[in-house]
Structure 1
């Protein structure tokens, strides 16, 4: 059955798992050529819905099963009266099995099939049927030139199964990748459609399972779970007789000279996300601003870690790092936090000090690195993190025995036991400073309300991303503080105080 982006299934797989599901469908009695026909029909229906007035198509085909889908799609368009031609980028003589049958059907229907010469004119709706999910290394010629021509054409582009050049396992563009307006994917969802470079290449996503059932997938392991409103964890409802002592006491630590705004954003986020009590430990110079902006928070000016000790015995959750800095003041405070036996959220400079080896991470932590911080924590480059974001998130969770939120396009939440969740929502207007501070405070508030680290991180990331989508509709110029009222509203809609 077809799916729109709002109706996609939860389970995300890698390329090898999808090939296994495909093989099981065939073994259960569905011929491979019939699956190819179903894929072509699904693509045709989605394409016509997307561009109802179109009447011309150019298919760029490789020499695998992805090309077979393209040849069958060309035959369908030709039968519908469209002007159609296929540019064979791969050698058509290398087509085998079902793909060869599809090529023969297109020729029998009278479809024009030309060899790719590198300078062919592209017309109408472009169909990318070049490389599919089997690609592992960087795109090579002649495919690189074909992909560059597609991207330079300015024409509408449909990708069959996955944009050519995009890794199905990681979402990393392998040298170059097609920028599609519409991607129609089959059998099972691939992780690579939702993280890394995917946001710039997938466009509108339509899914068709080609009649693969839950029984078909059986015991095949799921690589990740996609977060959406129906599968999110929920904090418990609040009883009518509730009081502040039941919903935790969050202490936020940070805000060195020049960075006071970061800790204030985190503090306001924690307060507005439902923590029962909120305290703030920051530079004494920032206390007046804190009292003015957030009078509900208990602000403590600290010049040394010793001034924290009494407060650490009274709180239930720590958020450490926003605006902390890496000078002596921040080092002393993060060292004190590391020795506190409390659930904690570490962000920003707390993570940089952790990567430096200055301090060890306590138990029951959630860490929220962006790709650069993740690279420092793993001792690799940012490019290596981005080349395989799922692997980086899981490696961090195992290395630090912590729940990890790897921020960025297609944020990932990893648990040391191997669980991996993915949030693909967001908006380009969110590319602005301070959003990580808001996320850290939100996560701390959810921990304080009794959620475990993985559930709190999943819900926080989803709320944060969807608040960004809502506020991003107003365009660029989004401020981090704009998200806070939207998060509060989304949280109440998702988990009302009263049943």
Structure 2
């Protein structure tokens, strides 16, 4: 099954570039000219009235692309102002060719203060630092980036915004805040998660007419899931079916003071289409949970009543445990039982806080850590998780054997065999307590309906459905004040044609 658009690491894209030159006899400078032409077209689409263009040129091929774009813009009648932050004598191959062509165009270079010069530009082109950046941005480039960001002018970034790590999406000290990013040859994985979500703006891609058989030589490092995944990746409902055909979710949680979490989880499982949803909760929360949704089958039990879990689990397709579980004896007891469940187990929240990577994890497991929970499991800081979200997700999946959903801007889904999916949907309004409980319920609900489907595929459908529901709510009421219950109620809209 098509899992979405291929994403690549920076090194993989360099490999693709080299393959196109070697195997298809495409001159490297020709690829640079194609990149410039694509970016110039994109610029004119977004800002057709541009008259004065500011172009910042760095030392690599990214700078060569910028020089070629400047030449095209000048040829089209734009007033072009170019700032060169590199020694032309050190340009390599294709960038050197671009410099010679630029020099022949007699455009001239700017020598005055950058901030004053940018103030007179309609649009700025960022060609400073490309995909090769691997360390903190140096002082000269940092100053230029600060001027770009302070200019309040629209910015087109070439390939990646300068200062963004192409593989991780992390800001390397300071980064350009672009309105549009035009990426070439292969989609860079880092543009779709973490810090990059705030810096790349609208992302466009051009393959530069490189033949598909070239890109087929590199296995993608990840796949960007399509918006239609919830419909395309879930089996259709048969007309001649009943509730037993659509799975039975057992949601476990709701310690005293935390009944809302398990209510959101169980409600999302229902709204995702599960045929039956049972809840095992604390006796003090029974009335609150049972009164929330009449369709829920609620059982309350003390931690000594082990049979309560076993009776419910015997009928369940999927167990979701963690929302409102707490980390006391009551929660520990049910987590131990859940880990022995012979079926799919979704672990979230306090279930993850009670686990570590040395323990035996359920054989068919999905975990949904936010960066803080991921950091605790890996024994590192949240900042380290966010600095390389791809690596953190892969490490968790490999160590636990679980399909790992690393939540955040550009949620990642890592499989234990190295698979990686990326969700580009979702919005900052979803940064609200309880939103993860809704995701856990949606995961459990869809997993219950597709027991014979690969876990990764169904998990991907649930993550996209949850994110798209959040986007629908944001369009209706805005992001501020969005509630998890709003997203829960919207799930059927994205799960039905």
TM-score of the superposed pair, with normalisation by structure 2: 0.94
What do residues 141-179 of structure 1 show as CA deviations (whole Å, max 9, x unaligned)?
A: 211111111111111111011101111111111111111
Aligned match for 2:490, one of 461, 466, 486: 486
How many residues align? The count is: 485
Matched, 1:149 2:144: no
SS in 2 for 1:325: coil
What do residues 77-119 of structure 1 show as CA deviations (whole Å, max 9, x unaligned)?
A: 1112211111111223322322122122223222121358665
Long gaps (5+) in structure 1: 1-7, 494-499
Mapping for residues 167-316 of structure 1, pairs under 5 Å: 167-229=165-227, 234-304=233-303, 305-306=305-306, 307-316=308-317
Task: Please report how far the alpha carbon of residue 120 of structure 1 lies from its aligned counterpart in structure 2 after TM superposition.
Answer: 5.3
Worse overlay, 156-165 or 89-98: 89-98
Mapping for residues 46-65 of structure 1, pairs under 5 Å: 46-65=42-61
SS in 2 for 1:179: coil
Aligned match for 1:465, one of 464, 467, 484: 467
Matched, 1:72 2:68: yes
Separation in 1 of the partners of 2:244 and 2:324?
A: 28
Separation in 2 of the partners of 1:195 and 1:116?
A: 37
- In the alignment, is the contact (CA less than 8 A) between 1:252 and 1:281 conserved in 2? yes
Correspondence for 2:14:
19
Separation in 2 of the partners of 1:171 and 1:336?
A: 39
SS in 2 for 1:443: helix
Say if 1:364 and 1:32 are closer, same or farther in 2 by CA, change over 3 A. same
Task: Please report how far the alpha carbon of residue 289 of structure 1 lies from its aligned counterpart in structure 2 after TM superposition.
Answer: 2.2
- In the alignment, is the contact (CA less than 8 A) between 1:88 and 1:116 conserved in 2? no
Long gaps (5+) in structure 2: none
- In the alignment, is the contact (CA less than 8 A) between 1:89 and 1:116 conserved in 2? no
Separation in 2 of the partners of 1:38 and 1:465?
A: 35
Correspondence for 1:337:
338
Separation in 2 of the partners of 1:67 and 1:460?
A: 41
Task: Please report how far the alpha carbon of residue 13 of structure 1 lies from its aligned counterpart in structure 2 after TM superposition.
Answer: 0.4
Task: Please report how far the alpha carbon of residue 121 of structure 1 lies from its aligned counterpart in structure 2 after TM superposition.
Answer: 2.7
SS in 1 for 2:136: coil
TM-score of the superposed pair, with normalisation by structure 1: 0.94
What do residues 198-243 of structure 1 show as CA deviations (whole Å, max 9, x unaligned)?
A: 1101001111100112201232121001100456653322222201
SS in 1 for 2:164: coil
Separation in 2 of the partners of 1:432 and 1:488?
A: 21
Correspondence for 1:416:
416
Worse overlay, 300-309 or 196-205: 300-309
Correspondence for 1:85:
81
Separation in 2 of the partners of 1:221 and 1:163?
A: 25
- In the alignment, is the contact (CA less than 8 A) between 2:229 and 2:460 conserved in 1? no
| CA-atom RMSD in angstroms | 1.7
Correspondence for 2:385:
385
- In the alignment, is the contact (CA less than 8 A) between 2:229 and 2:461 conserved in 1? no
Task: Please report how far the alpha carbon of residue 335 of structure 1 lies from its aligned counterpart in structure 2 after TM superposition.
Answer: 1.6
Separation in 2 of the partners of 1:453 and 1:29?
A: 42
Correspondence for 1:354:
355
Matched, 1:34 2:38: no
- In the alignment, is the contact (CA less than 8 A) between 1:40 and 1:72 conserved in 2? yes
Worse overlay, 144-153 or 180-189: 144-153
- In the alignment, is the contact (CA less than 8 A) between 2:227 and 2:425 conserved in 1? no
What do residues 415-445 of structure 1 show as CA deviations (whole Å, max 9, x unaligned)?
A: 1111111111111211211110001001111
Correspondence for 2:131:
133
Say if 1:116 and 1:173 are closer, same or farther in 2 by CA, change over 3 A. farther
Say if 1:9 and 1:108 are closer, same or farther in 2 by CA, change over 3 A. farther
Matched, 1:328 2:324: no
SS in 1 for 2:319: strand
SS in 1 for 2:324: coil
Say if 1:356 and 1:401 are closer, same or farther in 2 by CA, change over 3 A. closer
Correspondence for 1:162:
160
Task: Please report how far the alpha carbon of residue 60 of structure 1 lies from its aligned counterpart in structure 2 after TM superposition.
Answer: 0.8
Separation in 2 of the partners of 1:195 and 1:206?
A: 15
- In the alignment, is the contact (CA less than 8 A) between 2:346 and 2:366 conserved in 1? yes
- In the alignment, is the contact (CA less than 8 A) between 1:317 and 1:342 conserved in 2? yes
Separation in 2 of the partners of 1:377 and 1:149?
A: 40
